[in-house]
Amino acid sequence: MKEAITDDLLEMAIANWEPRFTANGVDVGDYARITHSLNHWDDWCNAWCEGAAQHVALGEAAWSEDRYLSAGECFSRAATYYHFGKFLFVHRPDQARIAQKNAVDLLNRSLPLLSPAGSRHEIPFETSKLVGIFRAPHGAGPHPTVLLVAGLDSTKEEFREVERAFLDRGVATFAFDGPGQGEAEATLPIRPDWGAVGAAVFDYLATLREVAINRVGVWGVSLGGYYAARLAAADLPIKATICLSGPYDFGSAWSHLNPLTQQAFEVRSHSSSPVQAAKRARLLNLEGIANKITSPLLVIMGQRDRLFPWRDAERLVNEAQGESTLVLLEEGNHGCANVVYQHRPLSADWMAGELRRS
């Protein structure tokens, strides 16, 4: 008989994360099997790494039989599992680093095998680098392109299903790790102003022949929705922006965030204490910024979001100066992962249409 769960962190994780995981590439059976085996939060990362290893083995078998597309899909899925093993597992940094390295290595291995294929790009930035994955739809370019911006605990390893929605509609994708995210989290702290980040990415994309640099949009989720709004407000040639479940004022939500999210922010903002982390959280605010957004904006929010109030989305839309649309999903949770069918196709359709406008 399975031991009863007495770990509050684990119980919270299992109860809330299934929609997000399964919407982004985790098999629903795997989620049930892996989480059912757990009794303590400390076992989380290892359990997901073991699950990832099973998909690596499937990928190796497919590779040995020249089934390269299947191999790429298996390696990419394994990368996602490794990512979800470490995404909020910041209290055991040694385990998290190993899981992240495996996630990065497996995604890199999968890229030439996917359809369409992907390529890894490194952009020098300040004292470090930003790493992104570029995928272009089949056919001749240059292509309209959307930047995929991760949040506090997501990274480029999580975005294969999001990429698929845009690629299917003829839009190329560039999913990248910014400051405090993924491959940059140890060297670049979370920062409120993303203007310089966006400038570095745009300068680099302008060198890629497959990118129509005058037709670039931004999509961001959770804290990435805040970053997307900051990019839209900066002096950058962004044609359209999608903010999914982003905060207007991260600091005002701080006291309501779960302890795993607070601890992850403390680590990834390079704060020395919870008190300093709370102060830095207050810097992530769109007041005086949102009214600088003049390009088309689509804001999507769930009314059952447990992290950020849906009124944040309403305020962003009201203050933006361009053509702005609010999609409020009554049943939506944080990230609206439990109703992904209601917003992911809509988002991809909207972005494709905006990037093709003359």
Domain ranges within the chain, ordered by starting residue: 1-115, 117-358
258-293 b/e with 16+ CB inside 10 Å = b?
A: bebbbbbbbbbbbbeeeeebbebbeebbbeebbebb
Q: Pick the catalytic residue: 222, 269, 271, 324? A: 222
Predicted pLDDT at 15: 87
Instruction: Spell out the residues 6+ positions from residue 191 whose beta carbon is closer than 8 angstroms to its own.
Output: 179, 180, 197
- Given a cut of 90, whether residue 349 has pLDDT beyond it is yes
Query: Mean pLDDT across the stretch 84-104?
Result: 97
Superfamily, domain 1-115: acylaminoacyl peptidase (1.20.1440.110)
- Grade residue 5 by pLDDT with cuts at 50, 70 and 90: very low
Over the stretch 300-309, which tens digit does the pLDDT of each residue have?
Answer: 999 999 999 9
- Given a cut of 90, whether residue 113 has pLDDT beyond it is yes
Nearest C-alpha neighbor of 85 from the set 30, 129, 123: 30
On the question of a cis peptide bond just before residue 274, with omega within 30 degrees of 0, the verdict is: no
Q: Give the phi and the psi of residue 193 in degrees, each rounded to 5.
A: -95, 120
- Given a cut of 90, whether residue 7 has pLDDT beyond it is no
Our CA angle for 302, 24, 355, nearest 5°, is 70
In this structure, whether the domain defined by 117-358 belongs to CATH 3.40.50.1820 is answered with yes
- Given a cut of 70, whether residue 6 has pLDDT beyond it is no
Alpha-carbon gap, residue 25 to 22, rounded angstroms: 6
8-12, 93-97, 252-256: the lowest-pLDDT one: 8-12
Instruction: Count CB atoms within 10 A of the CB of residue 248.
Output: 26
222 labelled catalytic? yes
Task: Kindly give the interhelix angle for 93-110 and 44-64, rounded to the nearest 10 degrees.
Answer: 20
On the question of a cis peptide bond just before residue 259, with omega within 30 degrees of 0, the verdict is: no
CB–CB of 90/41 below 8 Å? no
Query: Mean pLDDT across the stretch 35-56?
Result: 96
Predicted pLDDT at 334: 96
Predicted pLDDT at 251: 96
Mean pLDDT for all residues in the chain: 96
Predicted pLDDT at 67: 98
